[in-house]
Amino acid sequence: MWQLAESAHPVLADEGGAILDERTGRWTHLTPTASAALMLLLVGATEEEAAGQYAQRYGIDAAQAAVDVRTVTDALTARGLAATEPVARGRWWGWWR
């Protein structure tokens, strides 16, 4: 399952958005369509469900919507802002780090 990293804090709107990476202090800015794809993913939709809703919203075919949603997830994963695996939590004895 795809999800944002624990250190990623999104600010999303229909006009676009941004994600703050608290590890680096850098913002990643999103286009309106990338923001829409991310909003659909964050409400718990799978990539396939998000692509279907994205296709309806923008009036495009399902194949193109799937490519668009996958592009957003791949870009955020490559930047370390998201992961397809559950976010690993630190060990309890490493709390002082």
Q: Which residue has the higher pLDDT, 62 or 97?
A: 62
∠ CA 51-17-31 to the nearest 5 degrees?
Answer: 60
Q: What's the mean pLDDT in 67-91?
A: 82
Per-residue pLDDT of 19-75, as tens digits, reads: 999 999 999 999 999 999 999 999 987 999 999 999 999 999 999 999 999 999 999
Q: pLDDT value at position 85? A: 66
Residues 6+ apart with CB under 8 A from 95: none
Q: What pTM did the predictor assign?
A: 0.82
Q: pLDDT value at position 87? A: 52
Distance CA 27, CA 79 (A): 11
